[in-house]
Amino acid sequence: MGEIIFQNTLTGRKEPFVPLRPGEVGIYACGPTVYDFAHIGNFRTFVFNDILRRFLRSRGFKVTQVMNFTDVDDRIIANAAAAGVGIREYTAKYIQAFLADRRTLNLEEPDKMVRATDHIEDMVALIERLTSRHHTYASDGSTYFRISTFPPYGRLSKLDASGIQAGARVDVDRYEKSDARDFALWKAPKPGEFFWETRIGPGRPGWHVECSTMAMKYLGDTLDIHTGGVDLTFPHHENEIAQSEAATGRPFARYWLHSEFLLVDSEKMSKSLGNFHTLRELLQQGHKPSSLRFLLASVPYRRQLNFTEDGLRQAAGSVERLRNFALRLRQGKFADGPPAMKERAAQAVAEFEAGLEDDLNTARALAAIFDLARDVHTAMDRGEFRWSDVAPVTAALEKFDAIFAVLTDDDAEKLRAMGLGGADRAPGDAEIEELLAARQAARQGRDFAAADRIRRQLADRGIVLEDTRGGGVHWKRK
């Protein structure tokens, strides 16, 4: 296998990936701000994080992935107060929903999922450290980071001073600063607002200091990879670097991987345009979890992804084709003889790996598998596919699914787990096998009416049965 290459936002170049400690990778992923349900733009980034994690693990790395929940900010404080509940109670609902959404999309659990509000003491300690090194100043009870004390500022986002000024106005806050670029590490409470009483005064942490604190607490002063959506590059990640490096004097993150925007029908997603989708809404409209995962994974993370109905339907078709391919491999009858496709399968695996090595080029990796499927179908149709080919081709599919995770037909179960979807939806593999066993038993008991009923029920739900001469049965999805 070849070298892994990542496009590093920090250097602006494609670079070989070499972790700090051989065989181990520490990754920090900026997680959701839990004041609402996550939308598909968020999930694009989380699917990218999952592909990254699965790929590095498949290459033998011991991966430690840390993700945060931003469970305190202005909106959360205001919304919780309006709802008359504490912020932990207010955010718990959205954290639970986020975890359920993640399971629905087959996202593996990061090794640590940490809440900002569990780390207030650590954040205060980091701010004190910055103060002792003369990087801060206090104003009206808040503490600010003085950017003029950190000359490398701007290295990640490559914005010149004017860009930074413009960007700083986006980072709205109503406190007094001596330089527009400076940002709040600790914010004094407004009258009547929730706060923590701490050694640096009453208040709450700024968003940026949360991520620096938790990243370094769990992964050390220097981490291998920091990920996030491209919109976090400035000011969030720039500020994380400033705080972390000013406090430790060491490099903070070695590789910065940013996933591009998700557009909906070629426009930026926004509530006012009415093109704002949460995962739940799309599932309620009848889309399958596997189609969503496939679509989000299929476009390389550094490219913009244009999310459309049509794209979702195509994704559903692609998943169906691959599942039917896997079924044909499992159920087909092939001639004995020396393998005819073993080399072809090895070539597909090599190309699949080469695609992922190339800055996680998922489109290239997918093409390798679809090309293999096409060639294998052709060989099967011509009677040139052998029993001895099943194992190498299946192994190639397994390599694919270890990363893309769409082959297991559990969409129906997933929808039920989310409280969506009724019995009329397409059944999963396990349910089909159960119904087939029941039908077989009915036939053996010569209850042909019952056997027929099961066949009709399956047909209504999109499953076609084909009895074979030997008394067995094949099935496929319409």
Decide: is 214 part of the binding site for Zn ion (CB under 5 A): no
Which parts of 180-235 are beta strand (E)? 183-187, 204-205, 223-229
The conformation of residue 202, written as its DSSP 8-state character, comes to: S
> Which residue's CB is nearer to Zn ion, number 253 or number 458?
253
Q: How far is the CB of 207 from Zn ion (least distance, A)?
A: 7
Per DSSP bridges, beta strands 62-69 and 253-259 are unpaired
59: nearest Cα among 112, 17, 20, 111 = 17
CA distances to 65, 359, 360 from 16, rounded to whole Å, are 20, 9, 12
Q: How far is the CB of 209 from Zn ion (least distance, A)?
A: 10
Distance CA 241, CA 256 (A): 11
Contact region for Zn ion (CB under 5 A) — 177-185, 210-218, 255-263, 326-334?
A: 210-218
Decide: is 247 part of the binding site for Zn ion (CB under 5 A): no
Q: What is the C-alpha radius of gyration for the chain, rounded to an integer number of angstroms?
A: 26
Among 66, 147, 164, 211, binds Zn ion (CB under 5 A): 211
Decide: is 156 part of the binding site for Zn ion (CB under 5 A): no
> Which residue's CB is nearer to Zn ion, number 106 or number 213?
213
The answer for residues whose C-beta is within 8 angstroms of residue 93's C-beta and 6 or more apart is: none
Q: What six digits make up the tokens of 145?
A: 């980071």
| Max intra-chain CA distance, the chain | 88
Q: How far is the CB of 104 from Zn ion (least distance, A)?
A: 24
**Among all chains, which residue has been given the structure tokens 């299946």?**
394
Contact region for Zn ion (CB under 5 A) — 24-32, 45-53, 400-408, 440-448?
A: 24-32
Q: What x-and-dash track marks residues 302-331 binding Zn ion by CB under 5 A?
A: ------------------------------
> Which residue's CB is nearer to Zn ion, number 33 or number 106?
33
Contact region for Zn ion (CB under 5 A) — 25-33, 110-118, 346-354, 448-456?
A: 25-33
Neighbours of 297 (CB within 10 A): 27
Q: How far is the CB of 122 from Zn ion (least distance, A)?
A: 15
Q: What x-and-dash track marks residues 219-238 binding Zn ion by CB under 5 A?
A: --------------------
Decide: is 373 part of the binding site for Zn ion (CB under 5 A): no
Among 10, 29, 30, 365, binds Zn ion (CB under 5 A): 30
Q: How far is the CB of 240 from Zn ion (least distance, A)?
A: 6
Q: How far is the CB of 236 from Zn ion (least distance, A)?
A: 6
Q: What six digits make up the tokens of 337?
A: 């003889």
> Which residue's CB is nearer to Zn ion, number 47 or number 66?
66
> Which residue's CB is nearer to Zn ion, number 184 or number 211?
211
> Which residue's CB is nearer to Zn ion, number 66 or number 211?
211
329: nearest Cα among 286, 257, 385 = 385
> Which residue's CB is nearer to Zn ion, number 19 or number 229?
229
Decide: is 418 part of the binding site for Zn ion (CB under 5 A): no
Q: Is the distance from CB of 228 to CB of 29 less than 8 angstroms?
A: yes
Q: How far is the CB of 123 from Zn ion (least distance, A)?
A: 13
Distance CA 10, CA 158 (A): 9
Distance CA 170, CA 185 (A): 17
135: nearest Cα among 148, 123, 122, 154 = 148
> Which residue's CB is nearer to Zn ion, number 90 or number 256?
256
Alpha helices in 225-308 (DSSP H): 238-248, 279-284, 289-298
> Which residue's CB is nearer to Zn ion, number 225 or number 326?
225
CB-neighbour burial class of residue 466 (10 A; exposed 0-12, middle 13-18, buried 19+): exposed
CB-neighbour burial class of residue 77 (10 A; exposed 0-12, middle 13-18, buried 19+): buried
At position 423, the amino acid (one-letter code) is A
Contact region for Zn ion (CB under 5 A) — 203-211, 219-227, 358-366, 373-381?
A: 203-211
> Which residue's CB is nearer to Zn ion, number 135 or number 258?
258
> Which residue's CB is nearer to Zn ion, number 211 or number 345?
211
Q: How far is the CB of 79 from Zn ion (least distance, A)?
A: 20
Q: How far is the CB of 211 from Zn ion (least distance, A)?
A: 3
Contact region for Zn ion (CB under 5 A) — 32-40, 103-111, 211-219, 360-368?
A: 211-219
| Count of positions on this chain that bind Zn ion (CB under 5 A) | 2
Per DSSP, the three-state class of 268 is strand
Distance CA 217, CA 470 (A): 63
For Zn ion, the binding residues (CB under 5 A) are: 30, 211
